Homo-oligomer: A and B are copies of this chain.
Amino acid sequence: MGKVGKCSLIFENSYLSETATITGPLEKQGPLGGYFDKSYDDLYAGEDNWEKAEMRLMADAVDLLLEKTKLDIKEIDCFLAGDLVNQVVISNYVMRDLGAPYLGIYGACSTSVEGLLIGATLIDGGFGNRIICMTSSHNATSERQFRNPTEYGGQKPPETTYTVTGAAAGLITNIKSKVQIKRATIGRVYDPKIKNQSDLGRAMAPAAAQTILDHFEDFNIQPSEYDLIVTGDLSKYGSKVLREILELHHYDVSSNYNDCGLMIYDINRQRVFAGGSGCGCCGIVSYSYIYQQLLNGIFKKVLIVATGALLNPIITAQKESIPGIAHAISLERVD
């Protein structure tokens, strides 16, 4: 274990032992619907406002994870969680009811991998035996906070992404199991000077490319190292930019690259504009479909690159551009 190259880490004893995913209805109707643990039929999830609905999704995810693993909350050494709502308040209020040690993190939609990355350093460093990483997003809480309330019914340009409603929780342990957390690359903020708040895919793509290039360089590997290289939520337009940047650097990812935002929805059939986004997007796809394909041995090595647009509505109103960040982690099937 330790540091590798400029921005990367290698782990020896960290395993993603179990996961739980909860979604809203649109995600259930998408191509990966069969891989989720539980889905609500409506966006309220039985609660009386959007924020409480998102808390319900995250609380359900951790409850289900504890149930699946037969662990008591007291056996969890630390939680790492974050979300998109200001002051990461969804995570804070879910943790209020759990009473366990907790570190709040924020990397916009890169949060799911940021959690895995810090969690694996804690486990590998011997600072605990069981760490839970959680994240969530909700279409209505995000739309209101970053753009307009959904009830307002504003028109959207085709570059817009659709914030995923759902939560994902994963347990990292030092007990050998089928899916190992092996490599990570810590992201660096990159600003391509895009000011359009509807075009976050293109705003994040260069940061994702930077992290993937750092990863290849730090580990001295080629894209073919992985069965799948998947970004978080670059969507139709951002993914295209990413492919172009990697091609400029002579890396060919034509056969093994995809984006969680294009996997969780069918953008030709579902009304989601350029694809899915939000903390939940990468978290849910990683912890459901990708995790299960690793368990089944369909995938051997996957590089997950969660992408975050470091957007703040006040700062963009001050005519600033929108920087991005991306953190990468590899999940590898243990034989």
Contacts and interface: CB of A to CB of B under 8 A. Distances in A.
A315 B101 contact: no
A238 to B, nearest CB: 18
Given A186-B103, A318-B49, A86 B89 contact: no
Interface in A50-82: 51-52, 77-78, 82
Number of chain A interface residues as a range: 35 or more
Contacts of A125: 1-2, 121-122, 124-127
A312 B51 CA distance: 11
Interface in A94-108: 95-96, 98-108
B128 A93 contact: no
Q: State the oligomeric state as a number of copies.
A: 2
A325 interface: yes
A86 B124 CA distance: 32
A88 interface: yes
Given A96-B190, A102-B189, A125-B127, 10 more contacts: A1-B125, A3-B128, A51-B315, A51-B318, A87-B312, A92-B323, A96-B189, A104-B114, A105-B106, A118-B118
Please provide the 9 A-B residue pairs with the shortest distance between their CB atoms, ordered closest to farther.
A125-B125, A101-B186, A89-B312, A92-B310, A2-B126, A95-B189, A87-B312, A104-B106, A96-B189
